Chain A
């Protein structure tokens, strides 16, 4: 699906990266623990999280992720937005909670697909 589909499915508000909404993504992961996110690679393009700090952006950047969705209406700080802009990462936030947001995306075909690097 496209990043714009995620926005629609989650009724989300785009904070930055509008220009990349056409980007295609195939899998996602949801976590508040960054080292858990870092443990699974394989084209995981989207990160859903309730955590709000600069490390979320850097973690996504290290993983070559292209979109971060903040659940429960969490708002990224200006510093985080700046970091995301530098790396071309789309930031958005949704009122939905983690479980529901992940479920909606999964149901629409955005799978987990995380593979451990061994």
Chain B
């Protein structure tokens, strides 16, 4: 059997308060599908970090989660400014977030490294002025 289930969301880039809603919904959906809890937690955290990034760094975008028999693929796409230096952005503690974002509890420069650690595979496609697509895979 190689049927897959797909969830798609719009991530509103103008509203910090609602940021993360898609991840909360995905967590609920995955629970209903009976996915192992540890895999759900890894998907939830990685997607949540990515979703917040789309809102604080890239004016929102779309999130897609595809559930296969033995893995979950998360695709986050935005039309934001792109990431000029991916290697630098991946470093723990590197952040361009302004002070107002830091006072909201984000901007520690931990999001991208967290996403990498919680997933089995992570690919960043980014182009300056065009946008960023991050594809993450969690095997279970």
Contacts and interface: CB of A to CB of B under 8 A. Distances in A.
B71 interface: no
A45 B114 CA distance: 19
Nearest to B92: A39
B17 to A, nearest CB: 5
B111 interface: yes
A62 B23 contact: yes
B114 A55 contact: no
A32 interface: yes
A59 to B, nearest CB: 7
Interface in A63-115: 63-64, 79
Interface in A46-65: 49, 51, 53-56, 58-59, 61-64
Interface stretch (B73-81, B82-90, B100-108, B125-133): B100-108
Contacts, number: 77
Q: How large is the interface on A (under 10, 10 to 19, 20 to 34, 35 or more residues)?
A: 20 to 34
Contact residues of A: prevailing secondary structure: helix
Nearest to B43: A62
A34, A56, A59: residue with the most chain B Cβ atoms closer than 10 Å = A34
Given A38-B45, A116-B117, A117-B117, A33 B24 contact: no
A117 B23 CA distance: 19
Nearest to B21: A58
A55 B19 contact: yes
A55 B41 contact: no
Counting from the closest, the 8 A-B pairs by CB-CB distance are A35-B110, A58-B20, A33-B108, A34-B105, A62-B44, A51-B105, A35-B108, A62-B48
Given A62-B45, A117-B117, A36 B104 contact: no
Contacts of A38: 45, 48-49, 110-111, 114
B16, B108, B109: residue with the most chain A Cβ atoms closer than 10 Å = B108
A55 B19 CA distance: 8
Contacts of B23: 58, 62
A49, A59, A63: residue with the most chain B Cβ atoms closer than 10 Å = A59
A68 to B, nearest CB: 12
